[in-house]
Amino acid sequence: MTRRERQELIDKGLLLPLMEEFYTIQGEGFHKGTAAYFVRIGGCDVGCHWCDVKESWLAELHPPTETEKIVENAIKYSDTIIVTGGEPLTWDMGPLTAQLKAKGVQTHIETSGAYKLTGQWDWICLSPKKMKLPTEEVYEKAHELKCIIYNNDDFKFAEEQAEKVNDNCILYLQPEWSKRDKVIPKIVDYVMANPRWKVSLQTHKYLNIP
């Protein structure tokens, strides 16, 4: 396969830069505690300074993998498939999710929403970032809004984002892991004063699992 042919397949979403895939427990948000198969796609230019998977940023570091192979592996383990990154919407998610849905599994995505929403999703976890804000479409379709709290200004940002999502979207505040001891008390106080919000924790880190 030539470089041009490979790039055409990547552009069509038939090849995706696969960083890693693994079966574990969802640790965050609405589906925490649920067994699920994670597919981590490389490539992200949003550039969060506190990102805990910076190795996902450069798509070139991760092998272009046929979506058929990704699906074949995923359905062996779970009927809930979570696509994350990186930023998976950097790529066309249509082919991957069409094949997953054809197998009868649930498709979830964790995204900053910074790019066009592609794919068929049963659950959209929107985690917006200040550096590159979500599209209007993903605000309208998000099932949960997960705002990361690193400092006091992030509460204001979270409220601004909450005004943009649909009325049925579940609202979460999640401490940035390295600042958890400092910000968790603030999040607790904030949620108690503003009960439309819920607390999300990275429980997989407390459980010492991927």
Q: Is 86 annotated as a binding residue?
A: yes
Q: Is 92 annotated as a binding residue?
A: no
Q: Is 169 annotated as a binding residue?
A: no
Domain ranges of the chain: 16-206
pLDDT the model gives residue 52: 81
Joined tokens for residue 71: 């699906």
Please, which pLDDT band fits residue 5 given cuts at 50, 70 and 90?
Answer: very high
197: nearest Cα among 140, 122, 147: 147
Q: Is 84 annotated as a binding residue?
A: yes
Q: Is 134 annotated as a binding residue?
A: no
pLDDT the model gives residue 49: 83
Q: How many residues does the chain have?
A: 210
Q: Is 202 annotated as a binding residue?
A: no
Domain 16-206 in this protein, CATH class: alpha beta
Please, which pLDDT band fits residue 124 given cuts at 50, 70 and 90?
Answer: very high
Q: Is 26 annotated as a binding residue?
A: yes
Q: Is 122 annotated as a binding residue?
A: no
Residue 82, strand partner residues? 38, 108
Q: Quick one: what percent of the chain has pLDDT higher than 90?
A: 95
Q: Is 27 annotated as a binding residue?
A: yes
Q: Is 25 annotated as a binding residue?
A: yes
